[in-house]
Amino acid sequence: MSEIVYVKCPTCQTQVAWLPENAHRPFCSEKCQLIDLGEWASENRTIVAQANWHDLDD
Ligand SMILES: [Zn+2]
């Protein structure tokens, strides 16, 4: 009853064991987690900027 589930790190595609001691899952490391969060944040800012442009047009 100890089947280990593996997931792929969204950032670098490394296989990561889904274990409670892996604090950064599904990422392989804190570094990859921060990279992914950074990309999400910059993408989010782009969407907000586009929304602001539409507000100016109106
Ligand atoms: Zn990674």
Determine contact, residues 18/26, Cβ cutoff 8 Å.
yes
pLDDT confidence of residue 42: 76
When divided into structural domains, the chain yields a total of 1
Tens-place pLDDT, residues 1-58: 678 999 999 999 999 999 999 999 999 999 999 999 888 777 766 666 666 666 666 6
The answer to whether 36 is annotated as binding is: no
In a domain, 1, yes or no: no
Q: Which domain holds residue 48?
A: 6-57
Q: Can you tell me whether residue 56 is helix, strand or coil?
A: helix
The answer to whether 10 is annotated as binding is: no
Residue 12 sits in a domain whose CATH number is: 3.30.50.10
Determine contact, residues 12/28, Cβ cutoff 8 Å.
yes
Å from CA of 22 to ligand 1 middle = 12
Identify residues whose C-beta is under 5 A from ligand 1, the ion. Answer: 9, 11-12, 14, 28, 32
